[in-house]
Structure 1
Amino acid sequence: MDSGWPLLRGHLLCLMISLLVQGRGDTFMINCSGFDRHGVDPAAFQAVFARKAFRPILNSSSPTHVNVSFTLSAILEVNAQLQLLTSFLWMDLIWDNPFINWNPEECFGIDTLTISAELLWLPDIFIVESMDINQTPPHLTAYVSSAGRIKYDKPMRVTSICNLDIFYFPFDQQNCTLTFSSFLYTVESLLLGMEKEVWEITDTSRDIIQTQGEWELVGINKATPKMSVGSNLYDQIMFYVAIRRRPSLYVINLLVPSSFLVAIDALSFYLPAESGNRAPFKITLLLGYNVFLIMMNDLLPASGTPLISVYFALCLSLMVLSLLETVFITYLLHLATTEPPPMPEWFHSLLLLCTCPGKRCPTAPHKEQKGLALTPTHLPGLKEPVELVGKMPRCGQAEQKESARTLQKPETQKQHLIDQWVQFSHMMDTLLFRLYLLFLVSSILTVIVLWTT
């Protein structure tokens, strides 16, 4: 009797262990008695709901795998001054709960249920770049399959940090990041994966995106770096969202009017400088351009120095230079018509070089007057003095002609000097206009090349 007691005690212990293991295993299978054609009795999931505060695992050393995905449905705002991107997206989370399991064939063919997300364990996935409170609507539901797979879709309005480069505004493209990670669970407890490929996320976002405003989606890429905080290592998935600005609004409202005003300023050089209408026209044009910049200032970025601001400053500088050139030419013409000073030798040489290229023009026009002192015998084509004696004028007539010639000589020289200064002024006007056009074209081409690259 004493020898049989240990054997009986061993059989009882094995029976109790088998019953406990069997009983624990039965708790993983949800009883279909709570299912009927009119719904599900919440008591059938009461054991699952009671464990929502704990991570659903069978082995504490095994991590929970959570698949992360999202769909970008709207680009609401890009704040260049605060360096913020505001977007609306749907975050999709999928994971397995081993404590949820039922047989659809025994449970009236029910394969999927929608359960309030507040009754289930949810992974604490957040966006690292988010700078606003969570604006997720309350009372969301999750899809639960008979195999224990949970799918949780979470709509979010996200305001995230984005390093914006506005130098190429309005032809700029921005690359913003959305990093999904966990607050509490390290890589030993939670690992992130992807249910969809990146190209599927990109195509779906392009198809359902709601806004057709200033920004458009270019593409989405991903990376899977680990985030180290002290001695803890966290898993994360980083998505690179590339967005591009639609420039048509700014081209029509900024670049086209500015180009028209600069073109009109260049064409104003064809107004005659002597008329005195060129300078007032350029002043009016310059004032109009300043009013245009003040009115269009709201369309420009509030921070930084974009290339378009450099372009506007360049156009304004060119208009100021053209006004200064007109003032200079007007001064030369006024000087030429009132009291023209003697023209310097290098002025006269430059004038002859521009007006008589390739010819040897005389460098001193006043020397032509010395031909008046030559005797008739030195003038070619004239007869001998003997033959002209009878034809020589009388003494009274010769004296009158000589006095008239003496009076006309200073007037002729002054008129000749005025003509030279006027011709020099026109030459300088043409030269400065060509330099203006050269600088204008080269500057605009440089800005266009920078924009296109």
Structure 2
Amino acid sequence: MYLFTTFALVTLSITPAVGNNSSIGSQLYNNLFLNYEKNVRPGINYSYPTIVSCEFSFAGLNEFKEIDSKMSVLGVFIIQWYEDRLVWNPATYGGISDMLIPEESVWKPDIAIPNAYHGVKFLYSSNPKVRAKNNGHIIWVTGDRYDLYCNADITHYPFDTQTCVLSMLTWNSFPSEVLLDKVESISTLRNYTSINPSWDVTEIKMYSRIDETLVSSTLIIEIKVKRLPEYVIVNMLLPVCFLCVINIFVFILPAESGERIGFSITLLLSVAVFMTILSDSLPQSSRPQIAVLCYFLFSQLIVSILMMVFTILGLRFYWAVPDKPIPGYLKLFSRIMSNVCKGTQYCKRRKKRKQLAAVGPEQIQDTVEKECNIKNSKDMNQSPLEDECMLITWQKIASDFDNFCIVLFLFLIVLTNSVFCINMSSNTQ
């Protein structure tokens, strides 16, 4: 009887306590860290590296300033590894299967972000605790705003797509000691709740590699974003296109109004203002290539300058002294333009002139005087056959020159716009 009683007492004394409380938690914590050294990496066999699994949960794109080559993203890292020294039996400690441990008390991988915008940044947690499970798995959750250096390629602005990289590497550990590994997830954009008004996040990829230069394990997170071009189209592209089309009307504006030069200079300055606005919103770099939109605006600026120069030439023709002789090449130019414009009143008179050629010189003279409306006696003394139905004056040279400019610059504007649209459409496909 005495032996049985003694055995029962001993058995009850080693029976695990039912239910957890602070006393049991304190006992568990003290037992786990009794001989624990946080400066020594975990691992039963040091022939193999400690595998650190990383999962990145993307929360949103805060901003992307391509002029400063800066991208700011919001995200959460879920980092896990196996700690063989922090293993216990939950039944022994009142069913406690996991517990929070101050992160300064356990070993953590020395993970750094080398391409942070303000220099190398080490991962830290705003909540300085890690969760330890009874099977030895440690879970470290940390989140923050990460400012990254990202050199933007603005070649196809505003229809460009940028790919920025968030790099993570083991700062002091070799790949034979600590190895970073990514965690496959169904969709890294599943927690994407913050919507950026200027950019759309299209894809996020994660992969790990060994950096031979730094001799460290590296985890690469590629964030692919696409610009939303509607704002730039409405506020920059369409106004410039409309200005270039309106600029052609300078050759339709009557020369007597005296507004041609002012009209062309105003439109030239308008295009220059749009170029200034664009230069303030893009990085001042020539690599890998200047934005195609810059070339497009520059081409429209050149076209506007040529229009102003041609406008001045046309006004010189129009206001030339009537007694000044007209060079032969200008007369040839006027005849060529008259032949091109078959439907003009001048060409109709020429056709009638040929029809009346068989009637007689007197009737031809009367018809020419009526149709060409010769007002001064000097012009009436000249032969109507000299310039084929009417005299070529400086005013007619100016009119033919305006018609030529309308056709020429309409062709140039259509050409430049077509080249720009083809280039942009090839990038969007």
Common topology (TM > 0.5)? yes
**1:253 CA displacement:** 2.4
Q: Say whether the 8 Å CA contact 1:177–1:238 is kept in structure 2.
A: yes
CA displacement, residues 119-143 of structure 1 (integer Å, 9 cap, x when unaligned):
2211112223224344745442222
- Give the SS at the match of 2:421: helix
Choose the corresponding residue for 2:172, options 184, 192, 212.
184
Distance 2:392 2:256 in 1: 13
**1:414 CA displacement:** 11
Distance 1:300 1:352 in 2: 49
Look up the match of 1:218: 202
CA gap 1:47/1:64 in 2 versus in 1, 3 angstroms: farther
Choose the corresponding residue for 2:55, options 64, 69, 83.
69
Query: Are 1:315 and 2:294 counterparts?
Result: no
CA gap 1:414/1:424 in 2 versus in 1, 3 angstroms: farther
Query: Are 1:60 and 2:52 counterparts?
Result: no
Q: Say whether the 8 Å CA contact 1:250–1:299 is kept in structure 2.
A: no
**1:176-255 to 2 correspondence within 5 Å?**
176-197=164-185, 199-201=186-188, 203-204=189-190, 207-229=191-213, 233-255=215-237
Query: Are 1:334 and 2:319 counterparts?
Result: yes
Q: Say whether the 8 Å CA contact 1:333–1:425 is kept in structure 2.
A: yes
Distance 1:47 1:36 in 2: 15
Provide the TM-score with structure 2 as the length reference: 0.76
Distance 1:85 1:358 in 2: 58
Choose the corresponding residue for 1:344, options 321, 327, 336.
327
RMSD: 3.5
Distance 1:162 1:358 in 2: 57
Unaligned runs of 5+ in 2: 1-14, 354-359, 364-375
**1:423 CA displacement:** 2.0
Q: Larger C-alpha radius of gyration, 1 or 2?
A: 1
Return the letter of the residue paired with 1:200.
S
**1:294 CA displacement:** 4.3
**1:147 CA displacement:** 1.0
**1:415-434 to 2 correspondence within 5 Å?**
419-434=392-407
Distance 2:158 2:341 in 1: 51
CA gap 1:352/1:68 in 2 versus in 1, 3 angstroms: same
**1:297-308 to 2 correspondence within 5 Å?**
297-304=279-286, 305-308=290-293
Look up the match of 1:259: 241
Q: Percent identity?
A: 22
Q: Say whether the 8 Å CA contact 2:49–2:175 is kept in structure 1.
A: yes
CA gap 1:333/1:414 in 2 versus in 1, 3 angstroms: farther
Point out the more displaced range, 407-416 or 320-329. 407-416
CA displacement, residues 297-356 of structure 1 (integer Å, 9 cap, x when unaligned):
533434443222222222222222111111111110111xx3343333343333233324
CA displacement, residues 123-181 of structure 1 (integer Å, 9 cap, x when unaligned):
11222322434474544222222211111111133233323212222221112222222
Unaligned runs of 5+ in 1: 1-30, 369-377, 382-406
CA displacement, residues 237-296 of structure 1 (integer Å, 9 cap, x when unaligned):
222221222222222222232223222212343322343322222223333444454456
Provide the TM-score with structure 1 as the length reference: 0.72
- Give the SS at the match of 2:319: helix
Return the letter of the residue paired with 2:377.
Q
Distance 1:294 1:237 in 2: 41
Point out the more displaced range, 112-121 or 281-290. 281-290
Distance 1:216 1:67 in 2: 28
Return the letter of the residue paired with 1:451.
M
